[in-house]
Amino acid sequence: MARTTIALNDALFEKLSRLARQENRSTPNLIETILIRHLEDDLYADDFEMEDIRRDRGLQRSIRKGMADYKAGRGRIME
């Protein structure tokens, strides 16, 4: 497992520590869980969003066109 060090202001660290104690877990574990949840929420569509995507034919055409353009070297993926 990789390790890193982050700098947090005292107030934020206290909030995180308090929440970790309430959830009976370590502060590093709480921070890791928060980061994982944030990334999952940000990177993946939930079931409701996927249903909207499946129903939206215009969006599907736009996605297919964008993927075709990318594969043909016209454009790039923005992160």
Please write the tens of the pLDDT for every residue from 11-38. 999 999 999 999 999 999 999 999 999 9
Q: Which residues form the domain of 73?
A: 47-79
Residues 38 and 65 in one domain: no
Residue-level pLDDT at 14: 97
Output Rg (C-alpha) for the chain, integer angstroms. 20
Residues 31 and 55 in one domain: no
Residues 17 and 32 in one domain: yes
Residues 35 and 53 in one domain: no
The answer to whether residue 5 sits within a structural domain is: no
Q: What angle (nearest 5°) sits at the alpha carbon of residue 41, between those of residues 35 and 44?
A: 125
The answer to whether residue 76 sits within a structural domain is: yes
Residues 54 and 75 in one domain: yes
Residue-level pLDDT at 79: 67
The pTM is what? 0.58
Residues 55 and 29 in one domain: no
